[in-house]
Amino acid sequence: MTTVTTRESLATVSLRKTFGGVTAVDDATVTFHEGKVNALIGPNGSGKTTFFNCVTGMIKPDSGSVSYHGTDITGRSPHRVARAGIGRSFQLCRIFPRMTVLENVLVAHRTHGLASLLKGARDADQIERARHWLRRVGIDHLEHSEAADISYGQQKLLELAGVLMAEPDLIMLDEPAGGVNPALIGRIGTLIRELNAEGRTFVVVEHNMEMVMSLSDHVIVFDRGRPIAEGPPSEVQSDPRVLEAYLGV
- 4-15 per-position pLDDT tens digit: 456 778 999 999
Q: What is the CATH number of the domain that holds 233?
A: 3.40.50.300
Q: What is the pLDDT of residue 248?
A: 56
Please report whether residue 6 resides in a domain.
Answer: yes
3-state class of 10 per DSSP? strand
Average pLDDT over residues 139-167: 95
Average pLDDT over residues 128-137: 95
How far is Cα 87 from Cα 160, in angstroms, rounded to an integer?
9
Q: What's the chain's average pLDDT? A: 89
Average pLDDT over residues 135-149: 96
Do residue 131 and residue 230 come from a single domain?
no
First to last CA, the chain: 38
Please report whether residue 17 resides in a domain.
Answer: yes
In contact, 80 and 57? CB cutoff 8 Å? yes
Kind plus residue range of the DSSP H or E element containing 18: strand 8-19
Average pLDDT over residues 113-122: 50
The strand pairing partners of 155, in sequence order, are none
How far is Cα 203 from Cα 207, in angstroms, rounded to an integer?
13
Q: Give the pLDDT band of residue 122 (cuts 50, 70, 90).
A: low
How far is Cα 128 from Cα 132, in angstroms, rounded to an integer?
6
Q: Give the pLDDT band of residue 245 (cuts 50, 70, 90).
A: confident
Do residue 173 and residue 196 come from a single domain?
yes
Do residue 159 and residue 173 come from a single domain?
no
How far is Cα 126 from Cα 136, in angstroms, rounded to an integer?
15
Do residue 118 and residue 232 come from a single domain?
no
How many Cβ atoms are within 10 Å of 70's Cβ, its own excluded?
A: 8
Please report whether residue 143 resides in a domain.
Answer: yes
Please report whether residue 227 resides in a domain.
Answer: yes
Write out the residue range of the structural domain in which residue 106 sits. 95-167
Q: What is the pLDDT of residue 7?
A: 77
Do residue 161 and residue 100 come from a single domain?
yes
By CB neighbour count within 10 A (0-12 exposed, 13-18 middle, 19+ buried), where does 98 fall?
exposed
Please report whether residue 90 resides in a domain.
Answer: no
- Name which of 106-110, 130-134, 177-181 the model is least confident about: 106-110
Q: What is the pLDDT of residue 21?
A: 87
Q: What is the pLDDT of residue 70?
A: 92
Task: Specify the DSSP class assigned to residue 148.
Answer: G
Do residue 246 and residue 194 come from a single domain?
yes
Do residue 162 and residue 179 come from a single domain?
no
Do residue 221 and residue 246 come from a single domain?
yes
Do residue 64 and residue 131 come from a single domain?
no
* 6-71-79-26 Cα dihedral, nearest 10 degrees: 70
Q: Report which of residues 130 and 179 the model is more confident about.
A: 130
Please report whether residue 188 resides in a domain.
Answer: yes
- E strand segments, 20-124: 22-33, 37-41, 63-68, 71-72, 86-88
At which of 167, 189, 214 does a domain end? 167
Do residue 62 and residue 10 come from a single domain?
yes
Total number of domains constituting the chain: 2
Please report whether residue 130 resides in a domain.
Answer: yes
3-state class of 31 per DSSP? strand
Do residue 69 and residue 99 come from a single domain?
no
Q: What is the pLDDT of residue 242?
A: 83
In contact, 203 and 27? CB cutoff 8 Å? no
- Sheet with 22-33, strands from edge to edge, namely 22-33, 8-19, 63-68, 71-72
β-bridge pairing 86-88 and 71-72 = unpaired
Do residue 81 and residue 175 come from a single domain?
yes
